[in-house]
Structure 1
Amino acid sequence: MIGPLAIAAHVLSLVVAVWAFVEFFRQREPSRPLFIGLWAVEALVAVQVVALVVGLADGSRPTGGDMVTLIGYLLTAVLLPPAGIVLARMEPTRWGSLLIGAAAVIVPVLILRLGQIWNG
């Protein structure tokens, strides 16, 4: 795990989540910058996932959990933001903003759990 990158992913993801929830409560559909924000979260998560996969390829193994759990969290972390974007595009109302916020608020939990599994 890359510590500073994990912190950046947490902060950006929570900022996007708060922004999306504010848009939801203001009864606004998701805007283009909101989608870009979630894509930026996806980019940070993807870099973190690639770093973990490279660590696995080098022979490192998770110390705090089993490999199946780690792979499940890796896949979920990398696929959740694009799924949130697709669902929000399918629902171009205020509920789309809520979907983006929900996806963005789950990402820090996934990254935190990945760190716990990897580092023990």
Structure 2
Amino acid sequence: MNELQVVLSVLAALVALVLVWHIVRDEQVTNVGFFGLVALQVGLVVQLVWGVVRVADNHDGVSVAAYLAYLIGALLILPVAFLWSASEKSRSGTAVLLVGVLVLPVLFLRLHDLWSAHV
């Protein structure tokens, strides 16, 4: 796994802890959680750009369609989860955000597997 994905996974874990705190306390997401989500999203944009550059260079044997689908999918998860949670002002809405955040490291592992299996 590359360094960016490790940093994003650690950030996702920290944001997940903040979200669990909000779920337990039955609160809406505060600035700390919101800015954590924004930082994650910015990191995902960087990952997308880096991934596209990587695929454009040397990608012998890598399934470009699958790799790009995972990059784009990872980029879309947080906005969809955020919109869903904004419409549900309860623990359930925050839980949707939590699930979205926890899915990201799994997608990072899959991206790593797709790349390292063929290159």
Q: Under a length normalisation based on structure 1, what TM-score does the superposition of the two structures give?
A: 0.86
> Is the 1:62–1:119 contact (alpha carbons within 8 Å) kept by the matching residues of 2?
no
Deviation at 1:62, TM superposition (A): 6.0
* In structure 2, distance between residues paired with 1:85 and 1:70: 24
Q: Secondary structure at the match of 2:27?
A: coil
2:54 matched residue in structure 1: 55
- Which string of whole-angstrom CA distances, capped at 9 and with x for unpartnered residues, describes residues 3-37 of structure 1? 22111100000111121122112211222321221
> Is the 1:5–1:48 contact (alpha carbons within 8 Å) kept by the matching residues of 2?
yes
Structure 1: 5+ residue stretches without partners: none
Q: Secondary structure at the match of 2:49?
A: helix
* In structure 1, distance between residues paired with 2:30 and 2:90: 10
Give, as a single letter, the amino acid of the residue that structure 2 aligns with 1:9. L
* In structure 1, distance between residues paired with 2:112 and 2:5: 9
Give, as a single letter, the amino acid of the residue that structure 2 aligns with 1:61. H
Q: Under a length normalisation based on structure 2, what TM-score does the superposition of the two structures give?
A: 0.87
State yes or no: 1:75 paired with 2:72: yes
* In structure 2, distance between residues paired with 1:26 and 1:116: 37
* In structure 1, distance between residues paired with 2:78 and 2:3: 20
2:6 matched residue in structure 1: 7
Give, as a single letter, the amino acid of the residue that structure 2 aligns with 1:96. G
State yes or no: 1:99 paired with 2:96: yes
Residues 1:62 and 1:78: Cα distance change in structure 2 (over 3 Å):
farther
Q: Pick the aligned partner of 1:90 from 87, 92, 95.
A: 87
2:21 matched residue in structure 1: 22
> Is the 1:62–1:118 contact (alpha carbons within 8 Å) kept by the matching residues of 2?
no
Q: Secondary structure at the match of 1:30?
A: coil
Q: RMSD of the TM alignment (CA)?
A: 1.7
> Is the 2:12–2:40 contact (alpha carbons within 8 Å) kept by the matching residues of 1?
yes
Deviation at 1:51, TM superposition (A): 0.5
Residues 1:79 and 1:87: Cα distance change in structure 2 (over 3 Å):
same
Name the stretch that deviates more: 6-15 or 83-92. 83-92
